């Protein structure tokens, strides 16, 4: 029998603290199939980043387990790429050298990796900036470079923690389209944390909503919008209905307080 590609089962994470234990995750169950684009939404502090860190093998759980491609996780799995809200580019290395950090870490063949890095930089609109330093780039360009760095090792599983949270709305829309494009081409499994309902609906096959106190999965919504999604998708009735349904859920459980 085929097992679920990423299988999070009865997963609990408690951070001990002198002011009392913090129950960051409480019996979280979530199964993700290979190639799916899954977003995680939830209020601030509900444990979204913790979940990503545990899937990345950077934190261990208190109870329960995570299986990736049939193996129980006990450290960072092979074939993992990660993008954070802050781009974490190294200022004294050029854009290309930053992307090549992954190749060095994974000990990839240098000339093949360099070709792939240049291909990705071109795909993400950074042709001509390969030899610039991060401080010479805009926020959107820096984040594009960080995505190229995560992709250059051709990860099977890409974890993205609010990668576009610090960007202006136009750049964010543009990067949503670019990310969808790369995902459609490569069919990687993608776990994406965001605070934006619109972004989650636009990008995902499934939107997972987490609650706070206790931090659990309270909704698992399939987004059945045709692909490729374009800017006009956001104006469609079906898109609007998904957004309204999620907003209503947020209000019901007290995440949204407004009208």
Ligand X SMILES: Nc1ncnc2c1ncn2[C@@H]1O[C@H](COP(=O)(O)OP(=O)(O)OP(=O)(O)O)[C@@H](O)[C@H]1O
Q: Select 42 or 77, whichever has its Cβ closest to ligand X.
A: 42
Q: Which of 6, 8, 24, 99 binds ligand X (CB under 6 A)?
A: 24
Residues 146-165 that bind ligand X (CB under 6 A): none
Q: Does 254 help bind ligand X (rule: CB under 6 A)?
A: no
The answer for residues whose C-beta is within 8 angstroms of residue 33's C-beta and 6 or more apart is 4, 5, 189
Q: Select 48 or 188, whichever has its Cβ closest to ligand X.
A: 48
Q: Select 57 or 79, whichever has its Cβ closest to ligand X.
A: 57
Q: Does 21 help bind ligand X (rule: CB under 6 A)?
A: no
Q: Does 15 help bind ligand X (rule: CB under 6 A)?
A: yes
Q: Which of 30, 47, 148, 150 binds ligand X (CB under 6 A)?
A: 47
Which DSSP string corresponds to 189-206?
Answer: EEEEE-S-HHHHHHH-SE
DSSP state of 233: G
Q: Closest distance between ligand X and the C-beta of residue 241, in Å? A: 25
Q: Closest distance between ligand X and the C-beta of residue 24, in Å? A: 4
b/e string for 192-201 if b means 16 or more Cβ within 10 A? bbbebbbbbb
Q: Which of 4, 27, 49, 233 binds ligand X (CB under 6 A)?
A: 49
159 Ramachandran zone, left/alpha/beta (phi>0; psi -120 to 50) = beta
Q: Where are the beta strands (DSSP E) in the chain?
A: 6-15, 22-32, 37-41, 63-68, 71-72, 80-83, 157-161, 189-193, 206-210, 217-222
Q: Does 22 help bind ligand X (rule: CB under 6 A)?
A: yes
Torsion sign, CA atoms 234, 172, 50, 2: positive
Q: Report the Cα–Cα distance between both ends of the chain, in Å, rounded.
A: 47
The Cα diameter of the chain in Å comes to 56
Q: Does 213 help bind ligand X (rule: CB under 6 A)?
A: no
Q: Does 50 help bind ligand X (rule: CB under 6 A)?
A: yes
Instruction: Draw the binding track, 71-90, toward ligand X (x: CB under 6 A; -: no contact).
Output: --------------------
Contact 135, 91 (CB under 8 A): yes
Q: Closest distance between ligand X and the C-beta of residue 183, in Å? A: 22
How many Cα atoms are found within 13 Å in the side-chain-facing hemisphere of 221? 25
Q: Does 48 help bind ligand X (rule: CB under 6 A)?
A: yes
Segment lying near ligand X (by CB under 6 A), choices 42-50, 69-77, 146-154, 246-254: 42-50
Residues that bind ligand X (CB under 6 A): 15, 17, 22, 24, 42, 44-50
């Amino acid at each position: 029998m085929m097992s679920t590609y990423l299988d999070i089962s009865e997963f609990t994470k408690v951070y001990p603290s002198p002011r009392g234990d913090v129950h960051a995750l409480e019996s979280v169950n979530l199964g993700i199939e290979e190639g799916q684009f899954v977003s995680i939404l939830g209020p601030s502090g509900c444990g979204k980043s913790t979940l990503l860190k545990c899937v990345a093998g950077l934190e261990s759980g208190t109870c329960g387990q995570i299986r990736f491609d049939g193996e129980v996780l006990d450290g960072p799995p092979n074939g993992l790429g990660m993008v954070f809200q802050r781009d974490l580019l190294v200022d004294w290395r050029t854009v290309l050298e930053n992307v090549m950090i992954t190749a060095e870490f994974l000990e990839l063949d240098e000339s093949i990796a360099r070709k792939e890095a240049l291909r990705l930089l071109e795909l993400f609109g950074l042709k001509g900036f390969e030899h610039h330093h991060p401080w010479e780039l805009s926020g959107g360009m820096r984040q594009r470079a960080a995505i190229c760095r995560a992709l250059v090792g051709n990860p099977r599983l890409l974890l993205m923690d609010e990668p576009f949270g610090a960007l202006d709305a136009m750049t964010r829309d543009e990067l949503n389209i670019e990310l969808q494009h790369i995902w459609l081409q490569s069919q990687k499994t993608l776990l994406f944390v965001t605070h934006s309902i619109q972004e989650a609906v636009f990008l995902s096959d499934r939107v997972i909503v987490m609650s706070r106190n206790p931090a659990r999965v309270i909704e698992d919504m399939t987004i059945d919008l045709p692909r490729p999604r374009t800017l006009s998708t956001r104006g469609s009735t079906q898109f609007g209905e998904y957004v309204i349904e999620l907003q209503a859920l947020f209000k019901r459980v007290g995440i949204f307080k407004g009208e």
